[in-house]
Amino acid sequence: MKVRILSCAEAELAAAVDYYNEQYPGLGYDLAAEARECLRRIAAYPDAWPHFIETTRRCLLNRFPYAMIYRHTDKEIVVYAFMHLRQNPLKWQKLVKTEDD
């Protein structure tokens, strides 16, 4: 199944990687590896995670306080956000609704 990551989600992930690398060298790369593993799990089992907002789902990372917000069809998975778990989820709800229009 094809996985498409929106540019805003890529930017969120890149910012988080930079932040963690500043805190401890190499830690951001661990986050990136965890994000790749999360994408692999989503691609393999897209229905395995609970609904988050309407038809989107949320897959939690194991080691870091982040989740990937995504939606899938039979042909494609679209990742809308790389969300820190302490941020307001309404931000991503607006993004998902904008993408639907």
Q: Distance between CA 32 and CA 39 in Å, rounded?
A: 11
Tokens 């607006």 belong to 94
Q: Distance between CA 39 and CA 53 in Å, rounded?
A: 19
pLDDT at 101: 47
pLDDT at 22: 97
pLDDT string in tens for the chain (101-residue length)? 899 999 999 999 999 999 999 999 999 999 999 999 999 999 999 999 999 888 899 999 999 999 999 999 999 999 999 999 887 666 666 666 555 54
CATH of 2-100, one of 3.20.10.10, 3.40.50.300, 3.30.1330.40, 3.30.2310.20: 3.30.2310.20
Please provide the DSSP assignment of 54-96 as one string. TT-EEEE-SSSSEEEEEEE-SSEEEEEEEEETTS-THHHHHHH
Residues with Cβ within 8 Å of 49's Cβ and at least 6 positions away in sequence, in order, are 42, 57, 58, 59, 60
Contact 21, 64 (CB under 8 A): no
pLDDT at 87: 73
Q: Is the pTM of this model over 0.75?
A: yes
Q: Residue 18: CA atoms inside 13 Å, Cβ hemisphere, count?
A: 6
